[in-house]
């Protein structure tokens, strides 16, 4: 690789931030196993957890969101900010349970969809069906796929094609945009 090309790659990596650096820990073995995670996701819910439908959309004016969210949550969810890598305790969360949107409580991922990407951001290889919508953003030099909560539109992260098989997807999520509800939590 030419030196200039190498430096260019380094710069691009720094810009993307969300670069995968470690081996995948616990991917499902085949497409059928992923399908099972999609159909059985409610098994990861704690008893009594409210489950809003992604179609019941939540729309609030920004001043209202400001009151409801912390400054950091607002920056990520409503302004598409990115938290610093390695700052979310949810990156190391290993208990069984469900990750819900910090804005509206919609279940987005189960613990069985999570893997250790080594990026410093909570990472998932698939989502709960219908939970997320995507759009292309051009905030850095090349296009990335942004994804957000289907219910409240809150920005969650970006999805990349370097995830573990069989999905090959890596949902690189801001921990601050999520709330974790362990399966054994009291209602």
Applying CB under 5 A, among 37, 113, 149, 159 the residue interacting with Zn ion is: 149
Can you read off the two tokens belonging to residue 183? 């399966």
* CA nearest to 171, candidates 138, 153, 149: 149
Least distance (Å) from Zn ion to the CB of residue 140? 24
Binding of Zn ion by 152 (CB under 5 A):
yes
Strand partners, 179: 100
- Give the integer Cα–Cα distance in Å for 17 and 127: 21
Indicate the burial class of 3 (C-beta count within 10 angstroms; 0-12, 13-18, 19 or more). Answer: exposed
Q: Is 101 a catalytic residue?
A: no
Among 120, 154, 164, 175, binds Zn ion (CB under 5 A): 154
Candidates 104, 112, 128, 131: give the one binding Zn ion (CB under 5 A): 104
How far is 126 from 180, CA to CA, in rounded Å?
16
User: What whole-number distance in Å separates Cα of residue 7 and Cα of residue 78?
Assistant: 33
Which of 78, 144, 151, 170 binds Zn ion (CB under 5 A)? It is: 151
Given the complex with Zn ion, which of 19 and 98 has the nearer CB atom? 98
> What distances in angstroms separate CA 88 from CA 46, 62, 104, 130, one per listed residue?
22, 24, 19, 25
In the bound complex, what is the minimum distance in angstroms from residue 149's beta carbon to Zn ion? 3
Question: Counting contacts by CB under 5 A, is residue 100 touching Zn ion?
Answer: no
Considering the complex, state which of residue 35 and residue 56 has its C-beta at the smaller distance from Zn ion: 56
Q: Find the catalytic residue in 101, 104, 152, 172.
A: 172
Catalytic residues: 172
Residues of this chain that bind Zn ion (CB under 5 A) = 101, 103-104, 106, 149, 151-152, 154
């Amino acid at each position: 690789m030419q030196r200039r090309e190498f430096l260019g790659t380094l710069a691009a990596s720094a810009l993307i931030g969300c670069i995968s650096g470690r081996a995948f820990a616990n991917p499902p073995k085949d497409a059928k196993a992923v399908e099972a995670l999609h159909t059985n996701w409610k098994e990861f819910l704690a008893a009594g957890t409210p489950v809003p439908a992604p179609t019941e959309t939540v729309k609030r004016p920004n001043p209202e969101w400001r009151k409801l969210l912390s400054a950091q949550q607002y920056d990520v969810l409503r302004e598409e900010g990115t938290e610093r890598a390695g700052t979310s305790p949810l990156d190391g969360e290993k208990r069984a349970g469900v990750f819900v949107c910090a804005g509206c409580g919609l279940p987005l991922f189960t613990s069985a969809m999570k893997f250790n990407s080594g990026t410093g951001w909570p990472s998932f290889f698939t989502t709960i069906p219908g939970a997320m919508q995507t759009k292309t953003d051009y905030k850095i030099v090349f296009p990335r796929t942004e994804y957000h909560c289907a219910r409240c539109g809150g920005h969650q992260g970006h999805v990349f094609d370097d995830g573990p098989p069989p999905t090959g997807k890596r949902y690189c999520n801001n921990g601050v945009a999520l709330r974790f509800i362990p399966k054994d939590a009291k209602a």
